[in-house]
Structure 1
């Protein structure tokens, strides 16, 4: 069996001492994305409430309040997530709406 090379760092010979300084890297937290439902005149309000409960874990009262905000203001915040989770939520909502034949739109936007 061949001898494995010695990978330990070697100090220069003599009285010299080497100091290795570790630099701290600043790691930024991941960018967050808000998931929004957009109002339309065709998707039933009850379906919107159901979506908020099923995909965003909202209780009935919170889901109803968000649905009313969507209805009155044109859009409503469902939650804030990392990019991948936000995109998954958008895809789930759009798929559920399409399966039920509703034109409900869901988007994610980065939070600045």
Structure 2
């Protein structure tokens, strides 16, 4: 004989479930809170996205860091050609500051950290900073 085992799950007939839900709807406020929302209007809105801020990464002049070291940094960390790096290095030397590039905040912070760490490791006082545009 096929007797139901103890592991068989107990299932209620759907009609019984609907009967219980209908019965509960008469008493529970959840079922009544939107009864009179016929005049409810739902508007879809698009979020207003703001472009992320950009930051300039700049090198500051000092009297001790060799020009070749500045060029090395500009080539290795900012992907400049030798000619571009020389032009920026001369700006740093003559004007006191040179722009290395414009980046998002995270990229700019990383480049500033890497350049300052590399200069410190090589015993040069060169400083790199960032400024919001």
Q: TM-score range by the shorter chain?
A: 0.7 to 0.9
Q: Which runs of 5+ in 1 are unaligned?
A: 2-11
**Which residue among 66, 84, 94 is the counterpart of 2:88?**
66
Q: TM-score, normalised by structure 2?
A: 0.70
Q: Which structure would you say has the larger RCO, counting Cα contacts within 8 Å and 6 or more residues apart?
A: 1
1:84 deviates by 1.0
**Could you tell me which residue of structure 2 aligns to residue 36 of structure 1?**
58
Q: TM-score, normalised by structure 1?
A: 0.83
The residue correspondences of 1:1-112 to structure 2 (distance < 5 A) are 16=38, 19-111=41-133
Tell which structure's C-alpha radius of gyration is larger.
2
Q: CA RMSD in A?
A: 2.2
| CA–CA separation in structure 1 for the residues paired with 2:44 and 2:99 | 43
Q: Which runs of 5+ in 2 are unaligned?
A: 1-8, 10-33
1:24 deviates by 1.5
Count of residue correspondences: 103
Other structure's SS at 1:43 match: coil
